Amino acid sequence: MTVDAQTVLDWIWNERAVLPHPTSTLEVVDALLTNAEIDTAASLLDRAWGAQPTHQGLREARDKLLDHLSITEHSILFRYVPAGHFRQGSEEGDRDERPRRRVELDAFWIAETPLTWVQAADLGRLEPPPSLRHARDPGDEDNSREPLIDFMLQRVISLYSVDDTVEPELPEGIDPATLSLAQRRMIARSSLAAYDSLPAVGMNFDVALTIARARSNELIDYNLPTEAQWERAARGGLVDCRYPWGDAEPTPRLADYDSFERFSLRSVREFAPNGYGLFAMSGSCFEWCLDVYDAHAYRSGPARNPIVTTKEGEQRVVRGGSWADCPATLTVSFRGSITSNPYFLSPTVGLRPVRRVRR
């Protein structure tokens, strides 16, 4: 099947355009790939699958192409999100999620998971665990601060763990009588395996931004996601669903959440990925976005590649909910905000960087 380029663009960008039968769509995709128009093919498949997510042929072709477009750099697998449009927000959510609006985005890549400690160290050019230190401004010679990992583990354990029955195994040669319960727990959880399976948390906005941008160059830009990029990625290509997996209510099988009274942060790969192959877009940890928080952001602003950069106050957007939060925070439209004060640290906030090719 052959069609003109404008018709293909209408199928991708025009919500009112009538999409062809899936068999015809796959024929057009084959033609686009033959002509090396891989990005257009990905956008068309994404749009067609979103309209018919149960069609096996569309799903298989889309998954195969998106896998092909994924890129591994700096120990991070970046998943490809095609250019396209979606409806941001929810009319059933909180006031700052309204009005629901159409947003158009260029293609981008986003990390498959929130960064683990090992990945954060690699991307941020920091010392590897267990010596990962606070990201510092150039010229800061203060090396006296505790390693970031050890500091945050101690903070998390002392503030959030109430389970006094845990008796972790200690490394050989350490006398448990010399350690507090919090110290013993910290040692038990400070294994290299945990560093590379649990998300890095406790980074304020400036530290997260420094880590996300550390590897940018004249060709590739690494950054925190805009709020619109995050939500499109979280939706996974599904149309108007409440969660990354669809509309089913959250359960412990689907996400890590509602564990405030017991510290039980779980590996992000325990949960099924969404339609873009992304793990733990809901639960696990809140993720910093680039936008300044504005409760009225959806009422105005650009419809293409939107971002809020100027507003009074110190609040930055966080998305996704966390291990300590209630189910209401897990919807793909829920908007959180946290101070960007450099002294603020929270064991519920991490980061998931995006990647794009500079034009």
Q: What is the mean pLDDT of the chain?
A: 85
Judgement on whether residues 220 and 258 belong to the same structural domain of the protein: yes
pLDDT of residue 162: 38
Residue 332 in this model has a pLDDT that exceeds 80? yes
Confidence tier at 333 by pLDDT (50, 70, 90): very high
Judgement on whether residues 346 and 255 belong to the same structural domain of the protein: yes
Percent of the chain with pLDDT over 70: 79
Over residues 42-78, the pLDDT tens digits come to: 999 999 999 999 999 999 999 999 999 999 999 999 9
Confidence tier at 310 by pLDDT (50, 70, 90): confident
pLDDT of residue 3: 85
3-state secondary structure of 259: coil
Least confident of 44-53, 152-161, 260-269, 303-312: 152-161
Judgement on whether residues 62 and 111 belong to the same structural domain of the protein: no
**Averaged pLDDT, 165-178:** 56
Residue 311 in this model has a pLDDT that exceeds 80? no
Least confident of 128-137, 205-214, 256-265, 326-335: 128-137
Judgement on whether residues 261 and 322 belong to the same structural domain of the protein: yes
Residue 244 in this model has a pLDDT that exceeds 50? yes
d(CA 226, CA 335): 12
DSSP letter for 94, please.
Answer: -
Judgement on whether residues 204 and 335 belong to the same structural domain of the protein: yes
Confidence tier at 192 by pLDDT (50, 70, 90): low
d(CA 132, CA 326): 30
Judgement on whether residues 131 and 157 belong to the same structural domain of the protein: no
Strand 76-81 to 108-111 pairing:
antiparallel
Number of C-beta neighbours around residue 197 at 10 A: 18
Residue 138 in this model has a pLDDT that exceeds 50? no
Over residues 212-229, the pLDDT tens digits come to: 999 999 999 999 999 999
Strand 349-350 to 286-292 pairing:
parallel
pLDDT of residue 180: 61
Judgement on whether residues 32 and 4 belong to the same structural domain of the protein: yes
Judgement on whether residues 182 and 331 belong to the same structural domain of the protein: no
Over residues 87-119, the pLDDT tens digits come to: 999 999 999 999 999 999 999 999 999 998 889
Judgement on whether residues 189 and 205 belong to the same structural domain of the protein: no
Choose the final residue of a domain: 24, 46, 69.
69
pLDDT of residue 159: 45
Which pairs from 184-188 meet CB under 8 Å and 24+ separation?
185/157, 185/161, 186/150, 186/153, 186/154, 186/157
pLDDT of residue 166: 45
Judgement on whether residues 208 and 354 belong to the same structural domain of the protein: yes
Residue 250 in this model has a pLDDT that exceeds 70? yes
Judgement on whether residues 22 and 60 belong to the same structural domain of the protein: yes
Choose the final residue of a domain: 157, 173, 195.
195
Q: Which residue has the higher pLDDT, 75 or 341?
A: 75
For the chain, helix (H) and strand (E) counts, in that order, are 10, 11
pLDDT of residue 177: 66
Number of domains in the chain: 3
Choose the final residue of a domain: 15, 35, 69.
69
Confidence tier at 266 by pLDDT (50, 70, 90): confident
Confidence tier at 314 by pLDDT (50, 70, 90): confident
Instruction: Find out whether 289 and 298 touch, Cβ atoms under 8 Å.
Output: no
CATH code assigned at 292: 3.90.1580.10
Residue 248 in this model has a pLDDT that exceeds 70? yes
Helices (H), 84-173: 117-123, 148-160
For 7, the token pair is: 């018709």
**Averaged pLDDT, 145-167:** 50
Q: Give residue 162's domain range.
A: 148-195
Judgement on whether residues 348 and 283 belong to the same structural domain of the protein: yes
Residue 4 in this model has a pLDDT that exceeds 80? yes
